[in-house]
Amino acid sequence: MLIKHGEDIAPNGEQQFPYPDGSIVVKEAYRPDKDYVGLIAIMRKKAGVDPEHNDWEFIEYTRNASDAEFRVIAKDGVCWGCHARVEDIDYVFTALQ
């Protein structure tokens, strides 16, 4: 996880929840035995977009070859099934290290 303005989410080195408005979390994943990014998942916190879920919106892209274009495979509601399990840490699976 790349962190810019880390003092906003981890003052004194201790992670704080909820994440501030404007936060963006990006996950990239490689396909097994491949040398290219096959999946990109993005969470963006935008005030008012979804108060029921702490104002996070989601989108996920995938591709099947290094020269293929990414296509959308999931958005918002599809993602909540998994992310609801980490509601107590503002719906984000990855903790700061």
What is the domain extent for residue 68? 6-89
In this prediction the pTM is 0.81
pLDDT band at 9 (very low <50, low <70, confident <90, very high): low
Would residue 37 count as lying in a domain? yes
Would you say 60 and 44 are in contact if contact means Cβ atoms under 8 Å apart? no
| Helix, coil or strand: residue 40 | strand
Would residue 75 count as lying in a domain? yes
pLDDT band at 57 (very low <50, low <70, confident <90, very high): very high
Count of domains for the chain: 1
Please, which residues have CB within 8 angstroms of residue 79's CB and are 6 or more apart in sequence? 41, 58, 60
Would residue 94 count as lying in a domain? no
pLDDT digits (tens, 9 = 90+) for 37-54: 999 999 999 999 999 999
User: In angstroms, rounded to a whole number, what is the distance separating the alpha carbons of residues 3 and 25?
Assistant: 9
pLDDT digits (tens, 9 = 90+) for 14-28: 777 898 899 898 989
